[in-house]
Structures are given as C-alpha cells and as structure tokens.
Amino acid sequence: MRAARLIKMVLLLQSRPSMTAAELARELEVSERTVTRDAQALSEAGVPVYADRGRIGGYRLVGGYRTRLTGLARGEAEALFLSGVPGALREMGLEDAASAARLKVSAALLPSLRDASRTAAQRFHLDAPTWFSEPATPELLPAVADAVWDDRRITARYRRGEGEHRREVERELEPYGLVLKAGVWYLCARVAGQGVFRVYRIGRFTAVEAGGERFERAADFDLPGFWEERAEEFARSILRAEVVVRLSARGVRRLAHVVDPVAAREALAGAGEAGADGWVTVRLPVESEEVAHTQLMALGAEVEVVGPAALRERFAADAARMASLYGR
C-alpha cells in the first residue's frame, strides 16, 4: 500500500514543477504529516526530493530525475488522453486504473506536452446517455468488463422475452468487447463452441461467472465494424411494415429525427421528384402502424399519410379533434 503511494508521489512530482504538502496530501488522500514522512523515505532511498521551506514552499524533484516518452507530437499526446472516457471507465470499474495510467504518462511526457490532458479535456467530452433519461449502470458490468480485458470465458445467465414469455437462459460466452450506446451497455461476444457472434444487453444479465479458461481472440475481429453491421441489421429486422406518406420540404429535413435513421434513409433514397407543391411521396419502413402513428405525429402538418387507409383515418380523426380544440 505504502509502496504504491510512494510511486504515485514521485509521479506527481515529475508531472509538476512543485507541489505543496497540502496538495500532495489531497492527491494521495493522506495527512500532511504522512507526506512529510513519505518525502523523507524517498530521499533516503535515493530519490532527489527537495523541500522548499516557508509559506509558499513545497516539494520538488531535482537533478533531472524523470523518464520521458520521446517522439510524441502534441496532437498525438492529446489524442492519447481522449482514450479514457471518464463516465464509461467509472461504470466499468476502471477509473482508478485509468487515473494511474494518465498520471504515469503525464509524468513521462516532455514538459512542453504536460498540459495535453487539460487541453484535450477542454476540447472533447462524450455524453453518452440520451436527453431526459437517467440510465442505470448494470450491476454486473464490472465483472463483464474484467472478463473482456482478461480474455476470459464467462458463464452468463440472462433474461429473454417479456411478461409471461420471459425466461432465463444460460450461455458460455467469449466476451470480445463492450459498447455503450445512448447510455445502454452491450456485450459483443462469441458463443463458445458455436463460433457465432451475438450482442447481449448487459442489463439483462442476472449472473456472470468468470472461469479459469482464457480464449484466443479472432485476429480479424473488428469491434466498431461488427457493431455497425449488427446495429443496422437490428434496425432493419424490426421494420416489418410500410406506410406511404407525403412530405413537405421541411418534413423531408426532419424525417430522420422522428423515425429510425435507417428507415428514413431508405425512404428518401427511393423517393421520386417533388411535385409542383414541393411535396414528395415516399414509402417508409416502420415497426408497426402504432409506432408509425406516434413517430409521424411529431411532424405535424409537414406530413400527410396516404396509406394504409386505417392509419390515414386515424390521422384524420386526430386532425379533426385538434381543429375542434383550437377552433373554440
């Protein structure tokens, strides 16, 4: 415990010109008296820690005591610090490891690059959850993350189906990678013994047990490419119905914001030329008429449902009620 703290103290002093006892105590989560004792221990061990006395004094390293990572340009150093997304690392249980890694890199960088972590953080921030939602971190996420980093097989139990069709299934999985999509965590894994890759929502896991056996990763597995392909496959798989609508120019621009982007892209790609009134007719893939009604209502007067007839009648009834309400 103390050895790790002493190493961290050296790294902190390498990364800054000097630090007061109070600053070191805060970073190391110890008392100032402990900082004094640790500085003395480091000095006795040959680490050139020098104490400046007085009200504005502090501790610093002398004699060029540091290691350096050479060859890194500023852009490369800033990109390095973008690799740790704080919220996601915290949920996976890796915040302490990431903090230690960043500290070690900061200590080893040339002085001219020491502010790379600050400048990168000022220019990029990932806010993964969607608006107006408070996503819950899956309880078993740290256990799954450990298995992913360690290439270790897991036996997982997870829920399938909803309501009366809900049941638990057990699978032996080779966890390849984690994906955080709009505040929801997913595991991309290969089913052991089958060689097929599948996607699992980690929030549905009820139990995860890591075994002692490690698996050998497929050298050609590409996590971003795999996720993009599966995400589009999933989007297409739920688009089982179709509606015909007319869209104004503004409706065309807003369509992808109210329906699935894959559906909007396909619909607009197959659209004909706009009519004299500027409206275009498209065939829109949808999950169901019920979902289409909810989504297309957001376009208001920028969309006209042509078919099916039942959906058009439903929109006509909605329009009549609204006219009655606002015509009073």
CA distance from start to end of the chain: 75
Cα(35)–Cα(9) distance, rounded to whole angstroms? 9
pLDDT digits (tens, 9 = 90+) for 6-60: 878 887 888 777 888 888 988 888 998 898 888 888 888 778 888 887 666 788 8
Other Cβ atoms within 10 Å of 164 Cβ, number: 6
pLDDT at 99: 61
pLDDT at 76: 54
Q: Give the DSSP per-residue string, 287-322.
A: S-HHHHHHHHGGGGGGEEEEESHHHHHHHHHHHHHH
205, 168 Cβ separation under 8 angstroms: no
Cα(308)–Cα(242) distance, rounded to whole angstroms? 8
pLDDT exceeds 90 at position 281: yes
pLDDT at 40: 87
Does the pTM surpass 0.85? The reply is no
pLDDT digits (tens, 9 = 90+) for 108-143: 665 665 666 555 555 555 556 666 666 677 889 889
Q: Is 285 helix (H, G, I), strand (E, B) or coil?
A: strand
In sequence order, the 6+-apart residues with CB closer than 8 A to the CB of 279 are 246, 247, 248, 249, 251, 304
